[in-house]
Structure 1
Amino acid sequence: MRIAIVAHRATTTNSALIAAAVPGLDVCLLGPVEAVRELGDGDLALGRLDVTKSLDGIELGLWELARLEGAGARVLNRPSTLIAAHDKLATARVLDESGIPHPRTIHVAGAGEPVRLRAPFVVKPRFGSWGRYVVLCREPGELRRCLDDLAHRPWFQTQGALVQELVPPQGEDLRIVVAGGTVVGAI
Structure 2
Amino acid sequence: MTQLDTAPARPGRKRDHTRDPEILNAALDVLAETGYDRMTVDMVATRAKAGKATLYRRWPSKAELVIDAVACLKVGDRDAPLPDTGSLREDLVSQIKPHSIDDGQRKLRIMTGLASMLSTSPELARTANETIVRPRIERNLALFERAVERGEIEPGLDLELIAGLSTALAANRMLLEGKPVDRDFLVGVIDAVVLPALGIRADIPA
After TM superposition, the score normalised by the length of structure 1 is: 0.32
Q: Which gives a bigger RCO, structure 1 or 2 (Cα 8 Å, sep 6+)?
A: 2
After TM superposition, the score normalised by the length of structure 2 is: 0.30
Bigger-Rg structure (1/2): 2
Higher relative helix content? 2
